[in-house]
Structure 1
Amino acid sequence: MATPVDIVTIDMIKPSYPTPLHLKNLNLSFLDQTSPSVHFHVILYYEAYPSNNGSHNYEKMSLKLKQSLPEALVTYYPLAGRIRGTCWVDCNDAGAEYIEVRFPDIQLSDVIGKCEPERLNKYVPMVPRGGEDIPLSVQVNFFGCGGAAVGLCISHKVTDATFGSMTSRFPPITDFHLFQPPPPPPPGATPENIVTKRYVFDESKLAMLKNFVTVGPYNEINPTRVEAVTAFIWKNFIDAVINRDKNKVQNILFAAMHSMDIRSRASPPFPQNFFGNACAMALMEKEMDSKKEEGGFTYHDLAVKMRDAIRKVDVDYMKRMEDGDNFLKYISTSKVNDPCFKDGRTTIETCCFTSWSRLPLYDVADYGWGKPVWVSPIAIPLKNMIVLLGTKTGNGIEVWVNMLKEDIALIDTNYHLISSMMP
């Protein structure tokens, strides 16, 4: 049975002051142009905001956000503009999309307690209703208990996930000319049936994962939380692929890409309040090695591979990025020019990781509702996309895995095995 829903408002919120003429046309950087042509989504959940008489004052909560958003759009003015093609933003103050929805029969505690990823998608616009050229769409959801969820839909062409943490700190720097853009290649994506699951690793589970990773045949490492979790997900994915296609494993190259914030890796470093895309991909490649334990696919081997790949995103790497055309040639791979495809390897199986674990998502600006009690992404139809984010306590890691059902099964099994071993 469909859940009763009441759409209260669909509006365009404009900046409280017009954008100066010299900022009206914003050319997208190389990093922006080569970012995926998708919107990313984040939802912030707030407990009930009671009025003096104990009732739920939705109008007052809504008013606070409507008053705050125009002020924020003065600072983040590209989000009130319109994306023109792939190369620039018309900062015309047309406004950010604002949608207000009420779910009178749903309780916030049920949304958080059950955490069914696919059901969360209704609390955020998948794409702006007014068109994909709108950089920002905000959906405010009020529940029957008085709690609320604010869903943000943001174009990846304009900024990355650090935007969520900037809103609580200081005005941004929008120097999009740090990297000169070449003509962008045409993007492409194939939709498939994807399952989304959420795994929570508290301190105890993280300690166990780190023990799996630490000891190797030749050396030891002290893995970070992200390294330990990434190795766990990547290894189980590799094992799942091997189990379903053992006869062809010698023909498969396994790869993982980890999105990295490069603000501190440039020389000189980007300002921490740089607004736009400032991410690079650390690429890890691994093929079967019959001479090594588990074919070279141990937790330790994969964590070391990841660490080495991240270290390669250094000042020299950043200098290559400044020349967009040559950088695209540098990172391009094909079966013709990539030595990883030697010895008859014909297939590549890739996982893509992005980590929000260091972003202060629970410390976003307080709009009079208090701090969020939970922050989440949503289910996304992108195969082998994995999102890591910190828990509210700051000590754990949430992992949101989007994979084919047959590939996610082994992750599910081993996660529950780890959970059963906890005291």
Structure 2
Amino acid sequence: MKWLTAARKATQRFLNSQRCRIHRGSSRHVFGASNALAWSKHDQMHSLSLYSGHFYSTSTVLNATESSQRFQDGKKIQNEVKKVDIEIISRETIKPSSPTPEHLRTYNFCIIDQYMYDIYTPLILFLPNTDKASVTDVLTKRSKHLKEALSKILTRFYPVAGKVKDNLRIECNDEGISYTEARVNETLQDFLDHPDDERVRGLIPESFFSIESLKGNCLLGIQVNIFKCGGIGLSTSVSHKIFDGHIYFMFMNAWAAAARGSPQIVSPSFVASKIFPTNPHLEYSVPSKLRTTKRLSTKRFVFDSTALALLKAQPVASASSANPPTRTEAISALIWKTAANAASKVRPFGPQSPHALLSMVNLRTRASPPFPKESIGNLVDAAGAICFPSEHLDLPTMMGEVRESIAKLNSDFIESLKGENGHETFNVILRKINQLADMIGEGDFVFSTSLLNSGVYELDFGWGKPIWFYMMNAGFARFLTLNDTLKGGGVEAIVTLAPDEMEIFECDPELLSYAIVNPSPLVFIR
């Protein structure tokens, strides 16, 4: 069995090294490498055409003035990334189906909401037209049905239909949420053949992915993108002032249940502000250093079940447990190690120069007793771990660092955060985060979030489940998102780095012995 494992890793290293050789020799233009996940006849025929001079870019450039111009052999290559041909059909505001009672007209944030970044997080579900409904029916019946169901659930999620008044509260005035309908001039299959991050961003509601304050603006923007085949890209931009990942999925479950007429009632709990009351005199905030408006590069790295088994066979150098690594621990540590190595190749790291991993952790299930799973708001905290790139970086040790950092967010720690007595603990936490930000150089960190085991692929609005789910970076300088794959128990890691770091990162031999770069999500439905 060892020879089979070695052969698999060697073969994958060779294929990816060829890809990187092409990558380096063509000024960052990447040939569409053949898909190692699913070699159907269609895949093989498609890959042959890629060696006849056609190429596409897998890099994401958030600076619009730069995105249309790249260089190869000293010449400009225009429109390297195919733009999304999209037509906005309508824009409207969806309000709750019944007014919010007067005594609920103010929603108080919890203290974590209070200091949470004032940003929108863009996410999107791709839903196929499984019953071959006409595009006209999708435009009229399905979209109308989505709006009606949305209006109903907003009566229960009433703060979402309000406006942020200040850092302490939402004014629940029922002004509603932004709802846009658009037509996309291509099929869903064509779009998902090579889903570049920049193209996916073309399906996000306008004005809902900026870094401007959301005060006075809608807390939620929705865009229903209807493809030529009748498939839908259901995109949402959610305010991080009230939505963490857990609440996003709860909201989408409630919407889906209402849309398919399910008797299941999903209602949020509003206890967060009672557990963690706000502090108008909070001394610290989260450091702005973690965010950026600079040019970024985002790519996807998919770990199939075989690769995960090999990765999880690594020991974890941790005193807290002898258990093998979880998917989150294993992949986060590998991505972190690779990112730290890449950073050390583009700028110097001294013996005391750290590189950090900040992992977002859901506190609901870690409290004793657990918080209600329907608790709305940001019931999360960041677990911090550091390494020193000037030293040898050992994967088992880094897995242990990830595990130890998360283990510290236990029930005793959460208890220390509760009530007004917890205000000082929060100040200490924020002070330490700011001290860490001062210690690390610009960009010497990875901000990580895991959406694994979310159940996203079980969402059903009445005409079929999603075939792909994707979360976009809201503007963090270095970012990692972990998502489940549709089938096969795999994991999709979406990584954002500076472009010069990404060039090194994506060709790392150890990473490529486990991960496949930018495969089409369609391989998971064949």
Q: Classify the TM-score, shorter chain.
A: 0.7 to 0.9
Alpha-carbon spacing, 1:419–1:94, altered in 2? closer, same or farther (3 Å): closer
Matched, 1:410 2:494: no
Which residue, 120, 125, 135 being the options, matches 2:205? 125
CA apart distance, 1:381 = 3.2
Q: Which residue in the other structure is 2:45 paired with?
A: none
Q: Which residue in the other structure is 2:300 paired with?
A: 198
Alpha-carbon spacing, 1:215–1:310, altered in 2? closer, same or farther (3 Å): closer
Instruction: Give secondary structure in 2 for the equivalent of 1:250.
Output: coil
Q: Which residue in the other structure is 1:353 paired with?
A: 448
Alpha-carbon spacing, 1:110–1:302, altered in 2? closer, same or farther (3 Å): same
> Residue deviations 1:357-388, cap 9 Å, x none?
12111223x32222111111125432111111
Q: Which residue in the other structure is 2:92 paired with?
A: 11
> Residue deviations 1:289-331, cap 9 Å, x none?
85xxx2xx21101000111111110122112322453123322
Alpha-carbon spacing, 1:358–1:127, altered in 2? closer, same or farther (3 Å): farther
Q: Which residue in the other structure is 2:164 paired with?
A: 83
1:221-232 pair list within 5 angstroms: 221-232=323-334
Kept after mapping to 2: 8 A contact 1:388/1:399: yes
Alpha-carbon spacing, 1:215–1:16, altered in 2? closer, same or farther (3 Å): closer
Alpha-carbon spacing, 1:216–1:26, altered in 2? closer, same or farther (3 Å): closer
Residue 235 of structure 1 aligns with an amino acid whose one-letter code is K
1:163-178 pair list within 5 angstroms: 163-167=247-251, 168=253, 170-175=266-271, 176-178=273-275
Kept after mapping to 2: 8 A contact 1:121/1:379: no
Kept after mapping to 2: 8 A contact 1:68/1:367: no
CA apart distance, 1:269 = 1.2
TM-score, L = length of structure 2:
0.71
CA apart distance, 1:251 = 3.5
Q: Which residue in the other structure is 1:284 paired with?
A: 385
Kept after mapping to 1: 8 A contact 2:302/2:515: no
Kept after mapping to 1: 8 A contact 2:318/2:397: no
Instruction: Give secondary structure in 1 for the equivalent of 2:354.
Output: strand
Cα distance in 1 between the residues matched to 2:136 and 2:220: 31
Which residue, 404, 411, 414 being the options, matches 1:315? 411
- Alpha-carbon RMSD across the aligned residues, in angstroms, is 2.9
Q: Which residue in the other structure is 1:304 paired with?
A: 400
Kept after mapping to 1: 8 A contact 2:344/2:389: no
Q: Which residue in the other structure is 1:327 paired with?
A: 425
Kept after mapping to 1: 8 A contact 2:447/2:476: no
CA apart distance, 1:254 = 1.6
> Residue deviations 1:170-223, cap 9 Å, x none?
211012221021235466343111101111111012122223x32669996501
Instruction: Give secondary structure in 2 for the equivalent of 1:84.
Output: strand
Q: Which residue in the other structure is 1:143 paired with?
A: 227
Matched, 1:386 2:480: yes
Q: Which residue in the other structure is 1:162 paired with?
A: 246
Residue 270 of structure 2 aligns with an amino acid whose one-letter code is T
Cα distance in 1 between the residues matched to 2:133 and 2:471: 33
Instruction: Give secondary structure in 2 for the equivalent of 1:252.
Output: coil
Kept after mapping to 1: 8 A contact 2:346/2:501: no
Which residue, 350, 360, 369 being the options, matches 2:463? 369
- Relative to structure 2, which stretch is displaced further, 381-390 or 9-18? 381-390
Instruction: Give secondary structure in 2 for the equivalent of 1:418.
Output: coil
Structure 2: which 5+ residue stretches go unaligned?
1-78, 255-265, 517-526
CA apart distance, 1:252 = 0.9
Structure 1: which 5+ residue stretches go unaligned?
none
Q: Which residue in the other structure is 1:22 paired with?
A: 103
Cα distance in 2 between the residues matched to 1:50 and 1:245: 54
Alpha-carbon spacing, 1:93–1:223, altered in 2? closer, same or farther (3 Å): same
Q: Which residue in the other structure is 1:262 paired with?
A: 363
Q: Which residue in the other structure is 1:249 paired with?
A: 350
Kept after mapping to 2: 8 A contact 1:335/1:346: no
TM-score, L = length of structure 1:
0.88
Residue 355 of structure 1 aligns with an amino acid whose one-letter code is S
Instruction: Give secondary structure in 2 for the equivalent of 1:8.
Output: strand
Alpha-carbon spacing, 1:417–1:264, altered in 2? closer, same or farther (3 Å): closer
- Relative to structure 2, which stretch is displaced further, 348-357 or 328-337? 328-337
Identity in percent = 27
Kept after mapping to 2: 8 A contact 1:265/1:315: yes
Cα distance in 2 between the residues matched to 1:4 and 1:305: 45
Kept after mapping to 2: 8 A contact 1:49/1:61: no
CA apart distance, 1:263 = 0.2
CA apart distance, 1:22 = 1.3
Cα distance in 2 between the residues matched to 1:82 and 1:117: 29
Q: Which residue in the other structure is 1:97 paired with?
A: 178
